[in-house]
Amino acid sequence: MTRDTFPIARPGWTYLLVLATITGMFYWSSYRPASALTGALLIFTAYFFRNPRRKIPSDYKAILSPADGVVMSVSSVREDKFLGTASVRVSIFLSILNVHVNRSPVGGQVKYAEYVPGKFLPAFKSHASDINERNYIGIESSGFKILVCQITGFIARRIVCYAKAGDWMGQGQLFGMIKFGSCTEIYLPEGVEVLVGPGDSVKGGESIIGRLPDEN
């Protein structure tokens, strides 16, 4: 899996090309006033698909946030898709103004990947993670399993994921994004020290949300 280091995430390139073309056509035609509207939309689209550089901590025990946003909840649940045990779920809400690329919380190998079709309820709803369209990525790192779930929302209608089972990902590496407002969840095994709580703002690939325990 290649690293995406461009300042605009690849899923936004087509939108920008189309909007730039339409804006240019309007500007050089008798519909010049319309170019102001499409131009503003072009600027917003570039802002939404931005992919800023991040200072990734050099600490392999650190668990980084997989997304920008605000922590909605930290709860104890049983996760049976990949961890197969009791776990801690950290839910992060992304507003339409947040950076929407997703980054790997740890360095490791993708052992599990599953796309689940579903509905498009507002991502901040507590039950959205159970019935909305979503995508799971299970990563094994230093003998521990971590699951990341990309969830669509009312506005978000498309999940992009580059990672596949068998891929190796570096800590903080970009692996996908959710277009136009969403939620990202991360499931951590019991014993992990969780360092965030509801209301905390986090940055994907930069904020440390937890720490892996020492191996037995």
Q: How far apart are CA 72 and CA 58, in angstroms?
A: 27
Sign of CA dihedral 154, 113, 146, 64: negative
Instruction: State the CB neighbour count (10 A cutoff) for residue 42.
Output: 20
36 Cβ contact partners less than 8 Å away, ≥ 6 residues apart: none
User: Cβ distance 169 to 107 under 8 Å?
Assistant: yes
65 is catalytic: no
- Catalytic one of 35, 91, 141, 182: 182
User: Cβ distance 57 to 153 under 8 Å?
Assistant: no
Q: Which residues are known to be catalytic? A: 182
